[in-house]
Amino acid sequence: MICSPGTGVPGDDYRPGMPAAVETYSLGAPVPLGEIEQELKKLWHDGKGAMTRASLMNLAVYSEQPGSLQRNTRLMAQITENHACRALVIEADCNANEDHVSAWISAHCHVSSVGSKQVCSEQISFLLKGRCTTQLPNIVLSNLDSDLPLYLWWQEDFRESIDSQLWTWVDRVIYDSHGWRDFRSQMRLLELMRQEANCRIVLCDLNWTRLDNLRFALAQFFDHPASHHRLSKINRLRIDFAPGFRSTAILFVGWLAAQLKWQVNEVKSAHELRFIGASERHIDVELRERNGQPVHEIVLTSGDVEFRVTYAHCGDLLEVSRTQREIRHPQLMPAGNNDPVGLISEELIRGGPHHIYLNALNCIRDLL
Amino acid sequence: MNRTADQPEPNPLREGLAARPVPQPCNIVIFGATGDLTHRKLVPALYNLAADGELPPDVVIVGFARRDKSDDQFRSDLEESTRQFSRQPVRDEMWNTFAQSIFYHRSEFGDEGGYKRLAKRLDEIDKTHGTRGNRLFYLAAGPDQFEPILKNLKAAGLNQTCKGSWARVIIEKPFGTDLASARDLNRVVRNSFTEEQTFRIDHFLGKETAQNILVLRFANAIFSPLWNRHYIDQVQITAAETLGVGTRAGYYESAGALRDMVQNHLIQLLCLVAMEPPTDLSADSIRNEKVKVVRSLRRWSRSEIAANVVRAQYTKGAIHGEPVTGYREEQNVNPESQTETFVALRLFIDNWRWADVPVYMRVGKRLPKSATEISVHFKKAPPVLFNKDLRDLNVLVIRIQPDEGISLRIHAKVPGTSFRIEPVKMDFHYGTSFGKPSPEAYERLLLDAMGGDATLFARSDEVEQAWAFIDPIEEAWHGKKDAPELYFYPAGSWGPEAADDLLARDGRAWRRL
């Protein structure tokens, strides 16, 4: 098989040289595969104005959706505002008749938070066609910014046929289990992949990241030691979720179950569950499908106290309240963004291993 | 950093969500609530914490001051200043919720009845707002008010709490004006609050890069073997500002640069650079190591002070091309003032790690640029091969402000057929690498105090040891006989020539900033 290092069609608004200040969302200049590093050097050399190249990681994004190169380039332009990286944007067309690889280089420049200096992240875009898609590890690994971690954002379902060599290089694999049709088989593949990488890869599920601010908002109710006893008295949980986000709601339940040592006792229906707590107390869980945010309201009842986390009217704030004997003090907290840029940014800021996620997953694996 | 003894058992739902002691619901009582610090720093910092979701919802702010004001008036004043000074734009809906938890309590600082009324009010707030009996008292009033405030807090029983609650006090600098007054202040504080309840704030320690010094030193194995007298030639610490005395003349005239900056901020930075690795990251482990550094600072005789410390005052000059007046011409400054606006010191830390490594410190107002930086100058490589003619040393620079970051100067061959070697700089900028802006120092420190983490606060022995080092210098300067000379420097220069001579005598020079 010959994978020709083609020079693909440049982005619609391609301009030679590096953008000085304006973010164009262009794929940039087409480059031969073997000359990417040299062309990147030229790009920086020819750049105008005071620019600083910055990179904290290699952030690769892989998709098989037609048009994903442009879409992901837009996302990268926004992500790099806060996370300097070398972006590797890859679109694969596995069903193409021809075997062909095209590559482009570009830069995303933003004015830094201090002063007027422009901070730029470089992007290498690849369009893989036909059997060249099997060359993914080869292409990614030969274009990494050295000594920096590799975060791979996988926008497709995982398959068994992916070259295991890739996983040995990946530090964090980012995916969104919300879109999975077969949760169990996907998890099995992910776990296999982790084993191949000696469990070194951190699994970053954006479906879990979606819950970060909600978990934070609920957790703060129990910070004071005087509230701890409420945790063992929880008897009811209601979660309202948007159509298609049942798995997100279930993950939230899994988190509570793992942290509070609950076990599944009875699955009454897809929307009614019963857990049993450490003190043999039953916890009834109701999952309600409603239009709104992926998970837009959580109500936890512990005896005569109700803890509520719900989206405020303005949408990007959470209203948290604790009600006891009809006395209620609502407060606002940030809700974070549920769009891909917000979720990826949250994930990149947080870092660290996600053992809490794995514990949560183990508790509700059979419910998904 | 680590959980302290008075910290409760962790909340299981917090696991993985917070890598720091979780701030507790509390009443924050600010004494001096109508002052600049409250309006410019404290309330904007608390608002930012709330907007970022870092502040527990059950936090109430009670402003305590003498002026007559209603809760609404106080909220309105704070809204105006927060809109002006907040790190992030103020959102109406967020402010409205935040402001519901702000109250004003009018009282004289010396009026015992005012504190009893405060105690009653805090009890009521505990019931209505879930603040759980936790109290954080912030002394943002003038230092002359500390004693009556602390005494009255005790008299009203506000220094004590019921089981499971806490009371803490945050004290703003100056922590005394000399060793005797610092001891006196510590005694006054101890009469009302234990050391564990006392948080002496030094906002320099809340800065991102100051905290990063420990990470740089103890999370990067490459520096550890080099961080000693065998490889380090000298350390320089510079805190320069272009501003003059401004509106602070009343305080500054009696303080001067040595008391205002060196005794606290610069010595704290030096401690972070010079301390031994702590046994763990608990507040006391870190502060134990810091205080050892201060205790190891070489004390001087009067004649040695003249040789190792330079004091100076700015005269008229220009900053960024604009003419500025001299210090003695500033408003509320004595026309014959002997107050120093610039100090340069040559210090030695007499311990195993740092013996004979000079530490040069300088701090000054009306200098050509504003910058606080620490530079660690490494010794020369052996004078063979490339190093016969090299003059520049390898220098590691830690920039505290502005443009927080770290740079390392190394030598590189200039491209070409000749063998010319020049210094080049490897540069790390927080603002470039991390898009997210750093929180203000006060945000971090307030959160730590609410979480009971005293790591970034000064302990009484640190403060007293620092004064024990500073006092002989002040005494020498203000002695009747043989007082070292007060030098003068034009505004916009890097200080008097005598400051350069301090290093020139050792064959060294101040780093060019």
Q: Rounded distance, CA A151 to CA B345, Å?
A: 48
* Burial group, residue A360, by CB count within 10 angstroms (0-12, 13-18, 19+): buried
Q: Is A112 in the B-facing interface, judged by CB distances under 8 Å? A: yes
- DSSP H or E stretch at residue A306: strand A305-311
Q: Maximum CA pair distance of chain A?
A: 74
For residues A182 and B480, which has the higher predicted lDDT (pLDDT)? A182
Check whether the bond before B490 is cis (ω within 30° of 0).
no
Looking at residue B22, which CATH number applies to its domain?
3.40.50.720
Q: Is B24 in the A-facing interface, judged by CB distances under 8 Å? A: yes
pLDDT in tens, B7-57: 557 889 988 886 666 788 899 999 999 998 999 999 999 999 999 888 887
pLDDT in tens, B440-462: 889 999 999 998 889 889 999 99
Choose the mutation target among B20, B101, B432, B436 for the interface with A, i.e. most A CBs under 10 Å: B432
Query: Is residue A92 domain-shared with residue A11, that is, in the same domain?
Result: yes
> Do A231 and A223 touch, CB atoms closer than 8 A?
no
For residues A37 and B397, which has the higher predicted lDDT (pLDDT)? B397
Taking residue B337's Cβ as centre, other Cβ atoms within 10 Å add up to 18
Check whether the bond before B402 is cis (ω within 30° of 0).
yes
> Euclidean distance between the first and final Cα of chain A, in Å?
41
> Do A211 and A354 touch, CB atoms closer than 8 A?
no
| Interchain proximity A218–B13, CB inside 8 Å | yes
- DSSP secondary-structure letter at B391? -
With a cut of 50, say whether residue A8 has pLDDT above it.
Answer: no
With a cut of 90, say whether residue B327 has pLDDT above it.
Answer: yes
Per-residue pLDDT, A113: 62
> Do A112 and A118 touch, CB atoms closer than 8 A?
yes
Determine the residue of chain B that is closest to A355 in CA distance. B16
Query: Is residue A363 domain-shared with residue A214, that is, in the same domain?
Result: yes
Q: How does residue A50 score in pLDDT terms, banded at 50, 70 and 90?
A: low
A175 assigned to some structural domain = no
Q: Is A95 in the B-facing interface, judged by CB distances under 8 Å? A: no
Query: Is residue B168 domain-shared with residue B22, that is, in the same domain?
Result: yes
Per-residue pLDDT, B8: 58
Q: How does residue B142 score in pLDDT terms, banded at 50, 70 and 90?
A: confident
A329 assigned to some structural domain = yes
For residue A104 the two structure tokens come to 């482009």
Distance from CA of A299 to the nearest CA of B (A): 15
Query: Is residue B332 domain-shared with residue B466, that is, in the same domain?
Result: yes
Query: Is residue A358 domain-shared with residue A234, that is, in the same domain?
Result: yes
B129 assigned to some structural domain = yes
Nearest by Cα to A297 from A343, A357, A228, A237: A237
Query: Is residue A102 domain-shared with residue A231, that is, in the same domain?
Result: no
Domain end among A156, A190, A217: A156
**A349 closest CB neighbour out of B51, B431, B436:** B436
How many domains does one find in chain A?
Answer: 2
List of chain A residues whose C-beta atoms are within 8 Å of the C-beta of residue B450 = none
Scored b (16 or more CB within 10 A) or e, A213-251 reads bbbbbbbbbbbbbbbbebbeebeebbbbbbeebbbbbbb
For residue B66 the two structure tokens come to 């003498």
Annotated active-site positions of B, please? 265
A25 assigned to some structural domain = yes
With a cut of 80, say whether residue B200 has pLDDT above it.
Answer: yes
Query: Is residue B96 domain-shared with residue B244, that is, in the same domain?
Result: no
Q: What is the mean pLDDT of residues A84-106?
A: 91
Taking residue B188's Cβ as centre, other Cβ atoms within 10 Å add up to 17
A63 assigned to some structural domain = yes
Q: What is the mean pLDDT of residues A279-287?
A: 93
> Do B421 and B411 touch, CB atoms closer than 8 A?
yes
| Interchain proximity A225–B15, CB inside 8 Å | no
**Which stretches of B325-459 are DSSP H helices?**
430-433, 441-451
Evaluated on CA atoms B409, B410, B416, B418, the torsion sign reads positive
Domain end among B172, B191, B225: B172
Query: Is residue A139 domain-shared with residue A213, that is, in the same domain?
Result: no
pLDDT in tens, A302-356: 999 999 999 988 778 999 998 887 677 788 888 988 899 999 998 988 777 788 9
Query: Is residue A128 domain-shared with residue A227, that is, in the same domain?
Result: no
A31 assigned to some structural domain = yes
Strand order in the sheet with B167-172: B102-106, B59-65, B26-31, B135-139, B167-172, B198-201, B457-458
| Interchain proximity B56–A223, CB inside 8 Å | yes
B68 assigned to some structural domain = yes
> Do B440 and B204 touch, CB atoms closer than 8 A?
no
A141 assigned to some structural domain = yes
Q: Rounded distance, CA A62 to CA B409, Å?
A: 39
Which of 139-198 (A) contact B at CB < 8 A?
Answer: none
Query: Is residue B93 domain-shared with residue B160, that is, in the same domain?
Result: yes
Per-residue pLDDT, B9: 72
| Interchain proximity A228–B17, CB inside 8 Å | no
B427 assigned to some structural domain = no
Lowest mean pLDDT among A14-18, B67-71, B95-99, B371-375: A14-18
Length of chain A, please? 368
pLDDT in tens, B152-178: 999 999 998 887 789 999 998 888 889
**A259 closest CB neighbour out of B8, B15, B128:** B15
List of chain A residues whose C-beta atoms are within 8 Å of the C-beta of residue B403 = 114-115
A132 assigned to some structural domain = yes
Q: Rounded distance, CA A363 to CA A259, Å?
A: 10
Query: Is residue A149 domain-shared with residue A220, that is, in the same domain?
Result: no
| Structural domain containing residue B485 | 206-380+456-504
Per-residue pLDDT, B390: 66
Query: Is residue A250 domain-shared with residue A139, that is, in the same domain?
Result: no
Q: What is the mean pLDDT of residues B188-193?
A: 93
B388 assigned to some structural domain = no
- B309-315 and B486-490: which strand pairing? parallel
Looking at residue A269, which CATH number applies to its domain?
3.30.360
List of chain A residues whose C-beta atoms are within 8 Å of the C-beta of residue B11 = 219, 222-223, 227-228
This model of the complex carries an ipTM of 0.84
| Interchain proximity B431–A113, CB inside 8 Å | yes
B446 assigned to some structural domain = no
Taking residue B465's Cβ as centre, other Cβ atoms within 10 Å add up to 23
B42 assigned to some structural domain = yes
Per-residue pLDDT, A48: 63
Q: What is the mean pLDDT of chain B?
A: 90
For residues B243 and A352, which has the higher predicted lDDT (pLDDT)? B243
> Do A350 and A83 touch, CB atoms closer than 8 A?
no
> Do B265 and B207 touch, CB atoms closer than 8 A?
no
Query: Is residue A113 domain-shared with residue A248, that is, in the same domain?
Result: no
Query: Is residue B155 domain-shared with residue B216, that is, in the same domain?
Result: no
With a cut of 60, say whether residue A17 has pLDDT above it.
Answer: no
Domain end among A112, A127, A156: A156
A113 assigned to some structural domain = yes
β-pair partners for A236: A284, A301
Choose the mutation target among A302, A320, A333, A341 for the interface with B, i.e. most B CBs under 10 Å: A333
β-pair partners for B31: B64, B139
Which of 149-208 (B) contact A at CB < 8 A?
Answer: 164
Q: Rounded distance, CA B42 to CA B60, Å?
A: 13
With a cut of 60, say whether residue A15 has pLDDT above it.
Answer: no
With a cut of 80, say whether residue B184 has pLDDT above it.
Answer: yes
Q: How does residue A10 score in pLDDT terms, banded at 50, 70 and 90?
A: very low
Query: Is residue A293 domain-shared with residue A227, that is, in the same domain?
Result: yes
List of chain B residues whose C-beta atoms are within 8 Å of the C-beta of residue A329 = 57-58, 129-130
| Interchain proximity B53–A115, CB inside 8 Å | no
**B435 closest CB neighbour out of A113, A322, A334:** A113
List of chain A residues whose C-beta atoms are within 8 Å of the C-beta of residue B98 = 332
- A263-269 and A118-129: which strand pairing? unpaired
Q: Is B323 in the A-facing interface, judged by CB distances under 8 Å? A: no
| Interchain proximity B132–A119, CB inside 8 Å | no
Which of 56-85 (A) contact B at CB < 8 A?
Answer: 56, 81-84
With a cut of 80, say whether residue B434 has pLDDT above it.
Answer: no
With a cut of 50, say whether residue B337 has pLDDT above it.
Answer: yes
> Do B504 and B307 touch, CB atoms closer than 8 A?
no
Q: Rounded distance, CA B390 to CA B384, Å?
A: 10
With a cut of 70, say whether residue A47 has pLDDT above it.
Answer: no
Per-residue pLDDT, B58: 85
With a cut of 50, say whether residue B405 has pLDDT above it.
Answer: yes
Query: Is residue A217 domain-shared with residue A363, that is, in the same domain?
Result: yes
β-pair partners for A323: A306, A328
| Interchain proximity B431–A334, CB inside 8 Å | no
**Nearest 10 degrees: Cα torsion A253, A256, A260, A265:** 0
B35 assigned to some structural domain = yes
Per-residue pLDDT, A123: 94
For residues B430 and B478, which has the higher predicted lDDT (pLDDT)? B478
Query: Is residue B266 domain-shared with residue B371, that is, in the same domain?
Result: yes
Q: How does residue B481 score in pLDDT terms, banded at 50, 70 and 90?
A: confident
Query: Is residue A347 domain-shared with residue A215, that is, in the same domain?
Result: yes
List of chain A residues whose C-beta atoms are within 8 Å of the C-beta of residue B432 = 52, 54, 84, 112, 117, 119
B428 assigned to some structural domain = no
Per the rule left: phi > 0, alpha: psi between -120 and 50, beta: everything else, B503 is alpha
How many domains does one find in chain B?
Answer: 2
Taking residue B9's Cβ as centre, other Cβ atoms within 10 Å add up to 8
Q: Rounded distance, CA B125 to CA A95, Å?
A: 67
Query: Is residue B261 domain-shared with residue B124, that is, in the same domain?
Result: no
> Do B118 and B158 touch, CB atoms closer than 8 A?
yes
> Euclidean distance between the first and final Cα of chain B, in Å?
33
Looking at residue B291, which CATH number applies to its domain?
3.30.360.10
List of chain B residues whose C-beta atoms are within 8 Å of the C-beta of residue A332 = 50, 93-94, 97-98
With a cut of 60, say whether residue B492 has pLDDT above it.
Answer: yes
**Nearest 10 degrees: Cα torsion A18, A21, A24, A26:** 20
pLDDT in tens, A204-252: 999 999 999 999 999 988 887 778 889 999 999 999 999 999 999 999 9
Query: Is residue B467 domain-shared with residue B335, that is, in the same domain?
Result: yes
What is the number of CB-based contacts under 8 A between chain A and chain B? 115
List of chain A residues whose C-beta atoms are within 8 Å of the C-beta of residue B9 = 225, 228
| Structural domain containing residue A255 | 209-367
pLDDT in tens, A149-175: 999 999 999 988 777 778 888 999 999
For residue B105 the two structure tokens come to 């309590």
Q: Rounded distance, CA A85 to CA A56, Å?
A: 5
| Interchain proximity A113–B437, CB inside 8 Å | yes
